[in-house]
Amino acid sequence: MINKLLILIAVTVTFVNIPAYAQTRDVTITRQWARASIGTMRPTAAYLTITNNGKDAVILDRIKTKIAAMAHIHNSTTNAKGISSMAPAGEIRIEPNQSVTLQPSGLHIMLMDLQRPLIKGDSFELTLIFENGQHITTDVPVLAISARGPKE
């Protein structure tokens, strides 16, 4: 009886967890690239597209990378008077079947306190951690400081 109950619990837990694993595969990262830095004293930026093919919205919680002690999503905006500024982006929520694109002049991952310079031709690992606990690690190629988008 106890065994049957345990099996029932185990089966239930497994099935409840399956959607979470499936979701991990449902979120994909594409078009990732970072801009080469000048040494380690000044910040640089990384860009990518997050696509949610799952059934539930996902919310990006934080970003981890060994290359920078601080990695935050910031947003650049330019107002009608032609004045640009940058501020933390707030919640990044990706609805099912939607993408969020981080690209120059808008959302970007600001990489600060660089642990080593980002040199053109190198690449580094970056992990996106979502509020539902899922982690996605991607390899980000470093392009020239004058790059304007990912390599096709």
Residues contacting 25, CB < 8 A, separation 6+: none
The nearer residue to another protein, 82 or 121, going by C-beta atoms, is 82
Smallest separation, CB 59 to another protein (Å)? 18
118 dihedral zone (left: phi>0; alpha: psi -120 to 50; beta): beta
List b or e across 50-80, with b for residues whose CB sees 16 or more CB atoms inside 10 angstroms. bbbebeeebebeebebebbeebebbbbeeee
Residue 110 near another protein by CB under 8 A: yes
Residue 112 near another protein by CB under 8 A: yes
Question: Which of residues 1, 2, 15, 84 is near another protein by CB under 8 A?
Answer: 84
Smallest separation, CB 116 to another protein (Å)? 16
Residue 88 near another protein by CB under 8 A: yes
Tell me how far the alpha carbon of residue 121 is from its chain's centroid: 21
Binding residues for another protein, per CB under 8 A?
35, 38-39, 42-45, 70, 72, 74, 76, 78, 81-88, 104-105, 108, 110-112, 145-148
